[in-house]
Amino acid sequence: MNHIVNENYIIYLITMDKSDQFWMIMDNGAREMASMLGVTYEWDAPLTRDINNQIQIFNNAVAAGADAIMLAASDPLQISSAVEEAKAKGVKIIYVDAPAFEEAVITLATDNYTAGRIAGENMFYGLEEIGLTYGSIGIIGVTPENRTTVNREMGFRDYLKLFARYQILETIYTNGDPELAKQATEKFIRDNPNLVGVFSTNEGSTLGMGYALRENDINIIGIGFDITAMIQEMIRDNTIKATLVQNPFTMGYLGMAEAVAALRGFDTGPQLINTGVTVVNIYTPSRTLS
């Protein structure tokens, strides 16, 4: 493949952490497009979620001469001042997955509220299928400041409010940590004898939920978000009933293209691109889990 010869732009991808497979796939997409466009590309992030560390990494990228930064904001409020300062220095900002409050060139993300409603729909029909027509449902969130996952919670709650026979419990936040999510799921089970379902809002919380459901072996519907090989296995063995799969490769791939377009002064199109979700579950047996 012939690469397009460009100015040697320096473009960073800064994600919430480097541990989730979600971000690794996003990096693959950004790296592929960067290679095609002939720009210098770096991926950096805290090893685990830490907003202060992410802000420092962001500021370091600006100091290192970044022309554009693709950012998944761990806390949209706390990092906004750093984003504003970077923009004042001429750095182009592209949001991927999770925007901050400061305006950017474009945001590429899932419509998380709608995705949450889809998760609620899958929960409802999963419960109906096995005859659990009333009871309580738990939610495992990331942090109250994470707008991405909070919007998923809101969509999930709003859908299930249509069916008053289900009580939606207070969200337990676990910062995307699988072990904490496992403990949260076990707490839901222990404290709620009528528990019929748990919704987890990201990769780490889905893994933790799955580990807990597998160990307890009880009749509870688990609906997750994001996918890894282990989550696929949990769907195959019926530990988790469904998970909503985003498109991080597309976010990275198109995000890089938009960053270069912005640097060249080209029209970058709409300010928001919905990269969509796919439901992978046992109710769609034709779906390939690969």
Q: Which pLDDT value is given to residue 284? A: 54
Q: How far is residue 248 CA from its own chain's centroid?
A: 8
Tokens 């609906």 label which residue?
A: 223
Q: Where are the alpha helices (DSSP H) in 38-177?
A: 51-63, 80-88, 112-129, 147-160
Contacts of 90 (CB under 8 A, 6+ apart): none
Of 222 and 285, the structure prediction assigns the larger pLDDT to 222
Q: Which pLDDT value is given to residue 62? A: 99
| The model's pTM | 0.86
**Cβ-contact 214, 241 below 8 angstroms:** no
Q: Which pLDDT value is given to residue 283? A: 58
Taking residue 261's Cβ as centre, other Cβ atoms within 10 Å add up to 19
Domains of the chain, first to last: 10-110+247-275 (3.40.50.2300), 112-245 (3.40.50.2300)
DSSP character for 202? S
Residue 232 CA to residue 280 CA, distance in Å, equals 9
Q: What's the longest Cα–Cα distance across the chain? A: 63
Residue 156 CA to residue 165 CA, distance in Å, equals 15
Query: Is the predicted pLDDT of residue 236 greater than 70, yes or no?
Result: yes
**pLDDT 10s digits, 170-206:** 999 999 999 999 999 999 999 999 999 999 999 999 9
* Short-list 155, 140, 120, CA closest to 202: 140
In Å, how far are 61, 79, 86, 111, 274 from 108, measured between CA atoms? 21, 18, 19, 10, 6
**pLDDT 10s digits, 241-288:** 999 999 999 999 999 999 999 999 999 999 999 999 999 987 553 344
Q: What is the mean pLDDT of the chain?
A: 94
Query: Is the predicted pLDDT of residue 3 greater than 90, yes or no?
Result: no
Residue 266 CA to residue 186 CA, distance in Å, equals 52
Query: Is the predicted pLDDT of residue 7 greater than 80, yes or no?
Result: no
**Cβ-contact 68, 259 below 8 angstroms:** yes
Return the H-helix or E-strand segment holding 247. Answer: none
Q: Which pLDDT value is given to residue 289? A: 38
Helices and strands (DSSP H and E) totals, the chain: 9, 13
DSSP character for 47? S
Contacts of 103 (CB under 8 A, 6+ apart): none
* Short-list 173, 171, 178, CA closest to 203: 178
Question: What letter represents residue 13's amino acid?
Answer: L
